[in-house]
Structure 1
């Protein structure tokens, strides 16, 4: 394994201070505010199929608890006109589609708040909640700017709905959440509790995608989009940020990993290379954006799982199970669509729009959105790399 060390704190003080997200970073050239050590998790590497032995060792304090205020009462609309703002067509969003109910969560908001506690209420075709809908599905939508990762989960734990906030701690340079009810700490990357009474408990992950607002809205014309606070309320009540400004400008191109952290990083790829990762049967493979873009479409097998991987025009990645009706198809690409078996599947939605498979939805095979290489390699150090000569 080719690994090197990166210092995460150097040069990020200005970024953190402007974001108001990692208020202690300016001190981390002098000290490391480490929480621990703690014993490894029960269950070891079985938690959510991670290829590492999860441990809360190495927790770093990045901000005060709730210094990054999670959204607890989200409000949605068809666009941002009701709050006197414009969400540009090229702005990235985390998109979720459950039973035809599509919602978009802009990174312009998630960069500042990182977690949204939501409830998906079933809707009829006219957008209203059906009278026979007893209750919706409680979801947690998260985004870690330091890892470039979005993870969506059910926030029901042991039969009870939990409310999640941002702990201000980092683990493996990634977001650490807490649940209000038990005060357990949860790794966003592994979707697993790493400290507290729920240690070792894994959240149920749900499919999502990262796309531009324009891409998402074209393929989901009835979608709604999250409104920024103060329209949406937070765990700290009224809050507002400059949602037209990215507090992490330049971070995605630098070699810096996180903040306040120094660790060995797999150097087979630049740490900020965007990849989509797939695991199956003990095997793991990372698909770098540049390699996928060169191929146009990738038909591959990870373990025993046949997959198709492609990049959107906006530079995001999607990975689907390429089995349809029990048979693995070989896909080609035509513009923004995958083509196989006489049908066409738009990249972002994965639902066939014509042909013998019309209406069939391809199954997403990723528990994470595309994310930075260093974050994937931390979780799966034995991962292969598609198209890499060292893989």
Structure 2
């Protein structure tokens, strides 16, 4: 951009914002490029500085630009977010490397849907039919409603937890609204915030969940929503204790219209009690429970319990003829969730994950690394050196893990000293070998 700023035009905030947007769309302004200082652009256009400020605010709220303090306003350049699942192949990755950073459930423990498919068949669903399968809605009201009672609960079905987050943000927030989220955090949640233009406000965790001080600080920054994982936090495995949940509800009591979203992704597999941040008098809330961890990621079904107003806003984006989750998938999920054999398999899977995670932590202890198993599919392993460096050394030894740096909400945060390791599929000897490799790699 030249010093005369001739490429930007307009006399109102809307016109200036549209002019900058056009330059971005044409590629004349690239991600990371600095926009003119407010005073300089106002003088160039012959307008009041407040008009330029308003234009930049419009651009920021739409996710097109971002403020950088003394560095001014720049074209938004979302930082890439790592993806869940298997690590991408790279030329420098050893061919024999074992991927233990996936965060995946054990395929052998995902129930076979074959028997339930016959029960899922039924009359065709046509335009104008209810969006939520009545049977699944009744089951969800009994199960989710029991954890939220007494209150007026409404049920919506979305295409998984990530779809639920995206639809809740779009229905209830405006780009530019700040959202509190755990740090380190769930990769999909971080990605959804960034691409939607919702500035993330990181909230730290300790062994009892998100901290009271962190939540209070986020609310003081004006967040419009709080996203948290009540149990089996990904990546740390932390679950919110009943004591901490009560403290957090007390803080939220003064902010009843801040949307509280609880992503209880592990639900039926969890060994910990569900302790909720949603107080009895809280006005805007959503409890999201997907079936991905126990019925398989490809099921793409999540149950969303909300207050009536949130359900109404969410329902505007989930209507027959517009977008809804296949009733075949909904019926299949219900058939499996109400099948005694399937539920017994889910209970056995829960025991397996808890036992194998505990065994891996015991192996780490034998090699001098103190580690709590937590809850979930993975174990959060503390390491002495920066996690990226340790992960690199482990790759050379044939083990692919996930560095805690990948889960940071803020790219400017200090280096992580934690690794997320998915070791539940390893036998005892393999777990011991991995624990030894981590111990040997923990120090340079």
TM-score, normalised relative to structure 1? 0.23
Return the structure number with greater strand share: 1
Return the structure number with greater helix share: 2
TM-score, normalised relative to structure 2? 0.21
